Structure 1
Amino acid sequence: MHEYCKVNSDWVKLGTLYINICTGRENLTDLKNFSQCIAEALMKESIDDRPDVPYCEFADTIFKHPQLNEVHKTIVGRIGISVMFFYYRKELWLKGRRVLYKFHELKINYKVLKGIAGREIAASRCAIVNVAVEIFLMGGRLNSAVQTLRESDWNIYSAVWPCDQMDVLKRHSLLCSIVQEALCKSMYSMCFEVLQNLPGFKESQAEFNVSQYNLLFNKVLNCAVSNRSLSISSSIVDFMVLKKIPIDYNNLHELITALGHSGLWRKARDQYKRALSLGFYPPLDEHVNNTILYISSLMSAIEMLLTIERFMVSNSSIIQLPGGCSQNLQIILRKISQEKDPSKDSSKDKDNYHAASERLLEASRLSSPRLFIKHLTVNNRNEQVYTLDHNSCVKWLNGNRNWAVKVWSYH
């Protein structure tokens, strides 16, 4: 009878036949064998160019039947998984997606089932989710692909749901593809969510040393900062530090600068301190004379101001001496060449250094209350030397006493 249904493409009748034959049948081996025949029939009639998906009609018929039970539901789900794998192997992405939509519509939790026929009988949960995700990706359904991963709690491997190394490698490849696609669409929150669930972060997979994700994380961070997605950029930095993934200084430099220019000073200071702890800025106590501040000419105005803030706090006892400070606080703008080739014209470095001088003055104007910086001289290295006005330092410390000491005392 099922051959008749197959020949005539009568999938409704096939569903009814299935229910009638399976109702009351206790021999699970017979039931499984019959279900495999059904799966093969549904797949055989699915390789043409017609958009219809026989499995959908078949499943609808069974789920409408009043004698439907949990065993039937499970087997229909297992048949669907085999059909889904068939479409996946044939690269029939649209039909595969329709099977997945039918799972969702009928509330079939296919992620905890196995296939009914072929290699997918032994497929791991990771492999089944991988196939579903790739079907959605290849069909241009990025959000559905990510939602599928969320619904599986991003699980890759556990004692309850083991998988082999090829499944893990496939998941790694799929997640990287999702990140690249989301990046093209400026979906930085999605990128970060996916990055956090790469192999090696939640499971103990020795083959995936998370330091290998350095380039990918920094690429996402760079794009997020460049497009002023500052909150997600800060979260990415926090995660990278937590997981000991090296951060490109240029990304952190741009983030700190963007945060300051956006008025997000607390976050700018937090990230500056982060950069300080990573060794991107020299500690203040590296010089014998701690009343002289050396500032790199490569810093942005925001970084310069934050450097001056911690310098003032570290010298607060001197600045706030009764009767005033007997020694002027000095700032030396360090010349740091961006050119590594000595044969190249140095005019560019001169322009860059002049621009750094302008940024230092801009930094003084950005402070609240405003700081006053006065040019003093040029030292024997041909570097500009400035003095930091004492009275403006006192006003700044008095005006920012509530938070400044707490933020900068130990940095």
Structure 2
Amino acid sequence: MVSDVFSVLSVSLAHSIVPGHEFLLDLFNFVREKGLVGLVPELMQLTFKMASVGLELSLDCLDCVKNAPMFQQTVNPNSTVAVSANHKQYNHLNDCLHSLRLSTAAHFPEYLNLAHAVVEIELCTKQEDWKRIGEVFRSICQSSHHPNQVERISGRITIALLCESKDKLSLPFAAFVETVCQNEGEDSLIKSFVGRIGVSLMLRYHKTHQWVKGRRVVEIMSTSKVSFTTLKGLFGNEDGASRCYLVTVATELLLLSGSVEGALNTLRENKWFLSSSLWPCEPADLESRTHVLMRLAEKTSHRDTLEVLSNLPGIKEPNDLIDISRYTPLFKSHLQVCVDRLMLPVASDTVDFMLSKNLAVEHSLLQTLLHKLGKQNIWLRAREVFRRSLSVGYYPGVSAPPGDMALIVPCELGEVELALAFEMFITVNASVILPLQETATSSLSITLKRNQSCESEYLSAGSRLLSAACIPQPKIIVHYTAVNSSQEQVFRLDVSTARRWLRHNHLWASEVWTH
């Protein structure tokens, strides 16, 4: 027991936690009362260490230690117990102490408390009394100690909490936090140091692939409302961890321990944080985040996957080091899955996001999406996708200048795309169509442009165009008229049916196709 105390006090001195001379006297009296003569050399060595780190010992303390019979017996050359090493050690101690500034008025109760705390932490660790360690920690934080001293105690507690418990299922950190964080505000000193302890534990468990333990640390801090991602760890090799990296580590701990929802919530709670002037991150941090998000995207729902992909590094906050075109295959794959599984609203949002970020959308996939949206009567989404795609150049062959009364469409368009092109054509010419008299001879022409396809495919496109005229509500009438000089089919859109369609749909159509 006493030898443990010496060991722990040596550790505390190594951390510059200096007990007071009163504690030294208490320890000396204990040794004397118990008749533990064999520990006198250790007590002398401890006194020497305390003096070496700057303890101002009082004259009373020195006299009590030096003149005590046990010390005299131990260092007396004529004593059968003494050895020359002890004599030299005593002389060394005596020289050192006399070289210090002695003060009879110097008292260090805060150091005494710290030394007692170190001893108690060590004993509680052996007894696995994590709640008692929490009580000791609260006591230290609530007294008037310098933050550096609290930091050293926190480091000692972190090491204690990493000890392997006899109960393999328990996590020492849980009982510790339960005791410490009762009735504590979010910005308290206690929660700040609890967060730093948690960060160090989290990084350690991540490094050693102890995913479940790491997950529980993250969950405990989240439940206790400890803002751990804005804190540093307690050990030197953790100072370089950026906030981005801490968020990533917490996310990965949750993900690899099976808590997909927890991983998502951690990212959302931290607003998918990557970098700021206060918390800059390194390229390696961005790569780590990318890998974690890619793994997370494979395990989430379709809607959540889009959210994950939308927050890949470099997308929302452009970064010169990241070419976001590298993400195109990920978005394409997600879009394909959504279209195949008829998750059409998510697929529409995916296309919209890709177009907004200049990520290439495969035309055949876009066409399939529009076809399925039309067949499912999701026309609002279909119009949004077609209009947006048209505006960024995905349908260069479609031309309907306002007032020209002429529409040009490429022959590869599907029925739904043709129907949407008709809606747009009628709407942009509304100011001309609506005033026309019923007997007016004006007409709306539609030209079906050729491509490199064979004649049979081109002819089938003509049939598809006529069928597409039946899709709008109310339907419009289109007639085949002739072949132009370029051997392209020309059609006529009946003006009266176009006017009727406009009267039914003018308000929303104007909003969609002319803004």
Instruction: Give secondary structure in 2 for the equivalent of 1:332.
Output: strand
* Corresponding residue for residue 332 of structure 1: 448
- Are 1:157 and 1:203, in contact at CA under 8 Å, matched by a contact in 2? no
Q: Deviations along 1:79-125, whole A, 9 cap, x unmatched?
A: 12111111111111111111122112322221221111252244221
Q: Which runs of 5+ in 1 are unaligned?
A: 338-345
* Corresponding residue for residue 343 of structure 1: none
Query: Which has the larger Rg?
Result: 2
- Are 1:88 and 1:135, in contact at CA under 8 Å, matched by a contact in 2? yes
Alignment partner of 1:24 is 2:161: no
**Paired amino acid for 2:190:** H
The range that moved more, 172-181 or 194-203, is 194-203
Question: 1:250-265 to 2 correspondence within 5 Å?
Answer: 250-265=364-379
- Distance between the aligned counterparts of 1:167 and 1:328, measured in 2? 59
- Are 1:333 and 1:385, in contact at CA under 8 Å, matched by a contact in 2? no
2:317 counterpart (179, 203, 221): 203
The range that moved more, 132-141 or 237-246, is 237-246
- Are 2:447 and 2:488, in contact at CA under 8 Å, matched by a contact in 1? no
- Distance between the aligned counterparts of 1:270 and 1:69, measured in 2? 47
User: 1:153, CA displacement in angstroms?
Assistant: 1.6
* Corresponding residue for residue 365 of structure 1: 470
- Are 1:39 and 1:117, in contact at CA under 8 Å, matched by a contact in 2? no
Instruction: Give secondary structure in 2 for the equivalent of 1:131.
Output: helix
- Distance between the aligned counterparts of 2:345 and 2:386, measured in 1? 15
**Paired amino acid for 1:362:** S
* Corresponding residue for residue 271 of structure 2: 153
* Corresponding residue for residue 421 of structure 2: 307
2:342 counterpart (214, 220, 228): 228
* Identical residues among aligned pairs (%): 32
Question: 1:165-314 to 2 correspondence within 5 Å?
Answer: 165-182=283-300, 187-281=301-395, 282-284=397-399, 293-312=407-426
* Corresponding residue for residue 223 of structure 2: 105
**Paired amino acid for 1:226:** D
User: 1:39, CA displacement in angstroms?
Assistant: 1.0
Taking a change above 3 Å as real, the CA distance of residues 389 and 5 of structure 1, as seen in their structure-2 partners, is same
Question: 1:347-366 to 2 correspondence within 5 Å?
Answer: 350=456, 356=461, 358-366=463-471
Greater relative contact order (Cα < 8 A, sep 6+): 1
Question: 1:82-121 to 2 correspondence within 5 Å?
Answer: 82-121=200-239
Instruction: Give secondary structure in 2 for the equivalent of 1:366.
Output: coil
- Distance between the aligned counterparts of 1:336 and 1:263, measured in 2? 32
- Distance between the aligned counterparts of 1:149 and 1:199, measured in 2? 13
Q: Deviations along 1:38-73, whole A, 9 cap, x unmatched?
A: 211211326x8812111112222333599x993232
* Corresponding residue for residue 9 of structure 2: none
The range that moved more, 96-105 or 265-274, is 265-274
The range that moved more, 328-337 or 12-21, is 328-337
User: 1:32, CA displacement in angstroms?
Assistant: 1.9
Question: 1:21-60 to 2 correspondence within 5 Å?
Answer: 21=140, 23-45=142-164, 50-60=168-178
- Distance between the aligned counterparts of 1:285 and 1:148, measured in 2? 49
Instruction: Give secondary structure in 2 for the equivalent of 1:253.
Output: helix
- Distance between the aligned counterparts of 1:104 and 1:403, measured in 2? 47
- Are 1:294 and 1:332, in contact at CA under 8 Å, matched by a contact in 2? yes
- Are 1:156 and 1:199, in contact at CA under 8 Å, matched by a contact in 2? yes
User: 1:147, CA displacement in angstroms?
Assistant: 0.8
Instruction: Give secondary structure in 2 for the equivalent of 1:44.
Output: coil
TM-score by structure 1 length? 0.80
Q: Deviations along 1:347-375, whole A, 9 cap, x unmatched?
A: xx95x667645533431221222223445
Taking a change above 3 Å as real, the CA distance of residues 107 and 318 of structure 1, as seen in their structure-2 partners, is closer
- Are 1:199 and 1:208, in contact at CA under 8 Å, matched by a contact in 2? yes
Q: Which runs of 5+ in 2 are unaligned?
A: 1-118
User: 1:167, CA displacement in angstroms?
Assistant: 1.4
* Corresponding residue for residue 63 of structure 1: 181
**Paired amino acid for 2:448:** I
The range that moved more, 19-28 or 129-138, is 19-28
**Paired amino acid for 1:89:** K
Q: Deviations along 1:235-265, whole A, 9 cap, x unmatched?
A: 3333333333333223332333333333343
- Distance between the aligned counterparts of 1:359 and 1:326, measured in 2? 25
The number of residues matched between the two structures is 390
Alignment partner of 1:9 is 2:128: yes
The range that moved more, 163-172 or 367-376, is 367-376
**Paired amino acid for 1:57:** A
Taking a change above 3 Å as real, the CA distance of residues 12 and 65 of structure 1, as seen in their structure-2 partners, is farther
User: 1:377, CA displacement in angstroms?
Assistant: 6.7
**Paired amino acid for 1:117:** F
- Distance between the aligned counterparts of 1:378 and 1:333, measured in 2? 11
- Are 1:36 and 1:79, in contact at CA under 8 Å, matched by a contact in 2? yes
- Distance between the aligned counterparts of 2:263 and 2:345, measured in 1? 25
Q: Deviations along 1:299-354, whole A, 9 cap, x unmatched?
A: 221111122334445666489466443668455374653xxxxxxxx8xx95x667
- Distance between the aligned counterparts of 2:167 and 2:236, measured in 1? 24
User: 1:126, CA displacement in angstroms?
Assistant: 1.3
- Distance between the aligned counterparts of 1:295 and 1:283, measured in 2? 5
**Paired amino acid for 1:75:** F
Instruction: Give secondary structure in 1 for the equivalent of 2:470.
Output: helix
User: 1:232, CA displacement in angstroms?
Assistant: 3.4
* Corresponding residue for residue 72 of structure 2: none
Instruction: Give secondary structure in 1 for the equivalent of 2:280.
Output: coil
User: 1:160, CA displacement in angstroms?
Assistant: 1.9
Taking a change above 3 Å as real, the CA distance of residues 263 and 291 of structure 1, as seen in their structure-2 partners, is same
* Corresponding residue for residue 73 of structure 2: none
- Distance between the aligned counterparts of 1:9 and 1:41, measured in 2? 9
* Corresponding residue for residue 143 of structure 1: 261
Instruction: Give secondary structure in 1 for the equivalent of 2:143.
Output: coil
User: 1:394, CA displacement in angstroms?
Assistant: 4.6
Instruction: Give secondary structure in 1 for the equivalent of 2:181.
Output: helix
- Are 1:297 and 1:336, in contact at CA under 8 Å, matched by a contact in 2? no
**Paired amino acid for 1:191:** T
- Distance between the aligned counterparts of 2:499 and 2:266, measured in 1? 58
Taking a change above 3 Å as real, the CA distance of residues 401 and 25 of structure 1, as seen in their structure-2 partners, is closer
